[in-house]
Amino acid sequence: MDPPLRRVSFLPTFSLALIAALPMGWALWAAASQALDVSAWQALWADPQTLRAWGMTLWTGLASTVLVWWTVARLLAHGFIRQQLARWLTHVPALLATPHAAMAIGLVLWLSPSGWALRLVSPGLSGFDAPPPWVTTQDPWGLGLILALWLKEVPFLLWVAATQLQREDLRRRWQAEFALAQTLGHTPTTAFAQVVWPQLAPRLRWPLLAVLAYGLTVVDMALIIGPATPPTLAVLAWQWLGDADAAMQAQGAAAAGWLTGSVAMLAGVTVMVLRAWARLRKSASSPLLLQGDSPWVGLVIGGAYLAVWWALAVGSVFGVWPFPQLWPSLWTGDAWAQVIASAPTVWTTLGLAAASASVCLVWSVAWLELTPRRWQQALRPWWLLPLVLPSVLWVVGLYSVALQWRLEGQWLGLLLAHAVMVLPYVLLALEPAYLAVDPRQSAVVASLGQSRWTDLLRIKWPLLKRAIASAWAVGFAVSVAQYLPTLYVGAGRFATVTTEAVTLASGAQRSLMSAYAALQMLLPVLAFALAAYLGRPRQFEKIGPMKDNT
């Protein structure tokens, strides 16, 4: 190929890479420069809270990740064997649409000493006529946070795995190998564990690292339901970064750097374990997968989500509700009236979510269309960095970028911050569908004398419209759930339903908190419903037999 053509083919790749890499690289450089203050590191390790908070972070993050991995393995085994994955996938978007903060608030409404769980057995069975002084939420063992992370991250990893299993090339090959293993005398569960799972697990590496990183660095869920004495290190870093003292802010940046190192270390260990396990394919049949069918796991998770949705719906309209009455004695719509009155908050949330999801979708489609496959593979880890690096680290960097680019407290700066966090999710959701498209299809269209745009607009994109719409809905949901970027880059000038819900979670206005949490969940549900409508298969009119009019 001559040099001019090579330059022309390289230009789209370079331009797209620059658009995304410039704010991400600048933010990482700014965060790293602040996190390398020697005096801040000395203050960090001199603080008596640091080691205890770090230990709590490791415990909650690792425990929730192991539970998520085990649960998804069991659910995939059950769904693949019984051929129920396609039916499950229709329900997963509703679970994905539940934001992290809304999940935590719903669990608090159930597990708190005056919540639904104890009311169901009081006073007939428990004998309590007043809420007991139990530590059921913000417990010092982090069990509430582990439960919330487990329930919230299972649908994400299950959805990513199901998209891999829906790829036509992989699905046919794995089903053939699965059937062959059974003809050799293996049970269905053993065949899945020894044939399908060892091939599927490496493809879930990045999503699993995202689950691990989020569990180690989550802030909003930890503030609502997580341990308070000590808190996790991410919460401590958030508190220090919000301090008026510059030294405490530097200590917070150092804590964010330490969290980043912890995530990198544990991610490296996780990758090595997965690779070592993949080499032992003959012994890859985990005992956990060989203990029979487990439909109860899916029932437990589905029941938990229904309970959370119920708690938020009822909690948003109750008035007077003395303990231990099972039902409120007064119903009121005052909380929703206050939510409706805060229309600017709702419109800010909708505008940011729609804009950031659309920008990231356009970039992802252009990247997958115009960039050679080798460049996609080479730069893929860079685009997925926001998944595996702590959100507090990104906040430090993005806030510095906003200050240097004079975007602090500006809507454009907030859009930039949201887009950086949304991009990896949109790309991760869209990429498997693009990889599954047969490249010979475009060659056939070109051989018929049609242009590239004809192929895209009339054939390829219509075939991918379901994946494109789903990726946009995922980006919308991720943007709605953003807490730290909105808080810091927005400089307190922009309120969203997420920032309002997390703020109210520490107060006594439970009905208003529930209303904001319910709205936070409702907006992504509507986005996924719109995606399902736009991505529905085309309906062709049936043509009846022709009549002979002669």
Walk along the chain (550 residues) and give the pLDDT tens digit of each residue: 434 434 445 788 889 999 999 999 999 999 988 888 889 999 999 999 999 999 999 999 999 999 999 899 888 888 887 777 777 777 788 888 889 999 999 999 999 888 888 888 876 656 677 777 788 788 889 999 999 999 999 999 988 887 777 777 778 888 888 888 888 888 888 888 888 888 888 888 889 999 999 999 999 999 999 888 789 999 999 999 988 888 899 999 999 999 999 999 999 898 888 777 766 654 544 444 445 556 678 888 989 999 999 999 998 988 878 887 878 888 888 899 999 998 999 999 999 999 999 999 999 999 999 888 888 888 988 998 998 888 889 999 999 999 999 999 899 999 999 999 999 999 988 988 888 777 777 777 777 777 778 878 888 888 889 889 999 999 999 999 999 999 989 988 899 999 999 988 877 688 899 999 999 999 999 999 999 888 877 654 444 454 445 4
Q: How many CB atoms lie within 10 A of CB 508?
A: 7
Give me the pLDDT at residue 293, please.
52
User: pLDDT for 131-173, tens place per residue?
Assistant: 777 887 888 899 999 999 999 999 999 888 877 777 777 788 8
93 preceded by cis ω (within 30°)?
no
> What is the C-alpha to C-alpha distance for residues 429 and 445, in angstroms, rounded to an integer?
26
DSSP assignments along 368-393, one per residue: HHHS-HHHHHHHHHHHTHHHHS-HHH
Interatomic CA distance for residues 461 and 425, integer angstroms = 19
Check residue 538 and give its pLDDT: 61
Cis peptide before 537 (omega within 30 of 0): no
- Give 168: exposed, middle or buried? Use CB within 10 Å, 0-12, 13-18, 19+: exposed
**Cα→Cα distances 211→21, 90, 238, 263, Å:** 23, 22, 20, 11
φ/ψ of 219, rounded to 5, equals -115, -50
Q: Look-up: residue for tokens 């800010």?
A: 348
* Greatest alpha-carbon span in the chain: 98
Q: 538, 463 in Cβ contact below 8 A? A: no
Return phi, psi of residue 52, to 5°. Answer: -65, -40
CB 364 within 8 A of CB 3: no
Show Cβ contacts of residue 295 under 8 Å, excluding neighbours closer than 6 positions. Answer: 78
Alpha helices, H only, 82-99: 85-89, 92-96
Q: What 3 state SS string does 183-241 have?
A: HCCCCHHHHHHHHHHHHHHHHHHHHHHHHHHHHHHCCHHHHHHCCCCCCCHHHHHHHHH
Question: Of 276, 305, 269, nearest to 66 (Cα)?
Answer: 269
**Cα of 81 vs its chain's centroid, Å:** 27
Question: How many CB atoms sit inside 10 A of residue 341's CB?
Answer: 9
Contact status, residue 89 vs residue 172, Cβ threshold 8 Å: no
Tell me the CA distances in angstroms from 378 to 8, 61, 381, one per residue in order. Answer: 20, 29, 7
- For position 290, what pLDDT does the model report? 46
CA distance 70 to 174: 21
What is the pLDDT, as a whole number, of residue 327? 82
Instruction: Report d(CA 200, CA 478) in Å as an integer.
Output: 25
Instruction: Give tens-digit pLDDT for 245-269.
Output: 888 999 999 999 999 999 999 998 9
Q: Report helix angle 411-435 to 205-217, nearest 10.
A: 150
pLDDT for 284: 45
- SS3 (DSSP) at 550: coil
What single-letter amino acid sits at 128?
A: F
Q: Which two tokens stand for residue 15?
A: 């331009």
pLDDT on residue 6: 41
Residue type at position 232: T
* Residue closest to 248 by CA, chosen among 259, 260, 236, 231: 236
| Domain over 3-37+53-534 is classified CATH 1.10.3720.10 | yes
Name 331's bridge partners. 318
Q: What is the pLDDT of residue 46?
A: 92
Q: What is the pLDDT of residue 480?
A: 95
Are 418 and 481 in contact by the 8 Å Cβ rule? The answer is: no
Query: How far is it, in rounded angstroms, from Cα 14 to Cα 36?
Result: 31
- As a three-state string, the secondary structure of 104-137 is HHHHHHHHCCCCHHHHCCCCCCCCCCCCCCCCCC
Helix, strand or coil, per DSSP, at residue 408: coil
Residues 6+ apart with CB under 8 A from 99: 477, 480, 481, 498, 520, 521, 524
Question: Tokens at residue 342, please?
Answer: 């805060």
Tell me if residue 331 falls in helix, strand or coil.
strand
- How long a stretch of residues is the chain? 550
Which residue in 364, 372, 535 sits closest to 439, CA to CA?
A: 372
Write phi, then psi, for 399 (nearest 5 degrees).
-65, -40
Q: What are the sequence ranges of the domains in the chain? A: 3-37+53-534
Give the number of other CB atoms < 10 A from CB of residue 130: 12
* CA pair distance 427, 93, nearest whole angstrom: 17
Non-local (6+) Cβ contacts of 138 within 8 A are 144, 225, 226, 227, 228
